[in-house]
A and B are shown apart, each in its own frame.
Chain A
């Protein structure tokens, strides 16, 4: 019985050799550039030295030396707090706007206006992080930016917002909302397009106004998509992107803008403390992984929708 199964499998592999050839490039790249670095994670428990390499470097004494050092360092509180602030703030502020945008666009009857409206709302998504941060600096420049124009029209001197640590998270989050809300609404628009039109017809016959249809049909129909997206983003709560935060950093706002990923970069590549940096990185990854698994388990219990 088992042997027959095995023979069948072997036959299927031989018959479908082309499939394995097609997936081979991706598998090789994953092994080389994703799985090999995973092995390299062990330097978080070693005293990595350049000339002895990953395998040859001695184990740390004790093995959790680098983790202990990070937990006791004054940067631990700052980086973890800043990372959590940015991600929760982004999650809460970024979540409702794409939904509102999709609901509004879905109600537009002028088709050409709707199309133009959507295309324009997608535009900021194509701006690179570097240019986006450049734009932020231009708009918020206290001498010549948009903010200077607004303040000077009231006869006031504009503040240097980029130099204020307590303004950092708001600038980071709201510029992100500005840039992504149009693009992120695509998925909700697709969900709305899939709503059964007979629902609207039935509501019209019952005398529902368009606003009522929005409240009682559109919003409930978006809920499953919204729940999945919310939970998915909750799973990457410690994964605040390096790129934007790093570019927005300056000496004046560093106390609010130093996050785990930028700290990992500075310790690891600028100060060349490879083992220490890897340990901080691993701490971040493990927290993320735990969050994702928890969130996925919860989702599966609640809604039958899960990643795996």
Chain B
């Protein structure tokens, strides 16, 4: 008699505790979502609002004085579109080159029967720990005639040690070596094996690395800052830098009628240019998401 009631009591106590736990957990999750979403939501509503309402602090939940002026200003800003076109091209070619360079290298380094495997692996690892640094790299690029050439943004720095290591781990753990043994006995060469068997079996890791590379190219500005001075070759991020970061300096330093007009124009574009430049790359992610669930990152941990 005594024992079952005790058991029951304990069970009830636990569910009550678990309920409290759930409330706290979902409560914190809600708070966290608010902290992530509200600052972004603020940018969205500000981009549709009258700039004077934004600077007056009247925009906080919905757009005030609804207007598309910000987007119109972006549409009319020619350099944004030049940057946009360049960035799309750099992202596209950069991702292709990145995959073409890193995935085969990762596969080769995953092969246990590779002669010079240790040497080649070290050749990749050393780069992670030691580098020539900014100026020697700059001089190399200059000597090779790549300054102000679009290739400098997609080719020279396309080897990513991190991507190679992650993909190599994936090949090691999910591509059984028996597969190669069987194929080679049947007379399949290395190239054919890689392209017709290894690559199709590794779509998940290729998709993930493609996403990483594409996001990197879409968002980076450093190489363009260093190596590209031709305005027609500048990627979107450098132009955004002028709109978003450059104007702050202008605002602090300049006065006068012309400056006020220029600042007003820039203020209108601030919010809309953020939306226009960031939404496309954010839309990428949901397409790739399912591959993350296929345990790609677990492979990465083991590496």
Interface on A for B, CB 8 Å cutoff? 9, 12-13, 16-23, 25-27, 29-30, 32-41, 43, 54, 101, 104-105, 107-109, 113, 117, 119-124, 126-131, 133-135, 137-139, 143-144, 146, 148-149, 152, 162, 178, 182, 186-187, 189-191, 193-194, 207, 209-211, 225, 242-243, 247, 250, 261, 264-265, 268-269, 274, 277-278, 281-282, 284-285, 288-289, 292, 307-308
Contacts and interface: CB of A to CB of B under 8 A. Distances in A.
Interface in B192-240: 194, 215, 218-222, 226, 237-238, 240
Interface of B: 10-11, 14, 17-18, 21-22, 25-26, 28-29, 32-33, 35-37, 39-40, 42-43, 46, 54-57, 60, 100-102, 104-105, 107-109, 111, 113-115, 120, 123-125, 127, 129-141, 144, 155-159, 164, 189-191, 194, 215, 218-222, 226, 237-238, 240-241, 243-245, 248-249, 252, 270-271, 274, 277-278, 281-282, 284-286, 289, 292, 295, 297-298, 300-301
A127 B278 contact: yes
Contacts of B60: 149
B16 to A, nearest CB: 9
A137 B248 CA distance: 8
Given A128-B237, A144-B55, A121 B32 contact: yes
B131 A38 contact: yes
B190 A19 contact: yes
14 contacts: A16-B115, A23-B120, A26-B124, A26-B164, A30-B159, A104-B25, A108-B25, A108-B29, A128-B281, A131-B277, A134-B270, A139-B42, A146-B42, A269-B138
A145 to B, nearest CB: 9
A243 B224 CA distance: 12
Nearest to A225: B301
B115 A108 contact: no
B156 A29 contact: yes
Contacts of B57: 144, 148-149, 152
Given A19-B114, A139-B39, A33 B274 contact: no
A138 B43 contact: yes
A21 B226 contact: no
A106 B148 CA distance: 48
A121 B28 CA distance: 13
A250 B249 contact: yes
B108 A22 contact: yes
Contacts of B285: 119, 122-123, 126
Given A27-B123, A178-B36, A242-B222, 14 more contacts: A18-B191, A23-B120, A25-B105, A36-B140, A120-B33, A130-B241, A133-B244, A137-B248, A190-B297, A190-B298, A193-B298, A207-B14, A243-B221, A264-B133
Contacts of A225: 301
Contacts of A307: 125
A136 B40 CA distance: 11
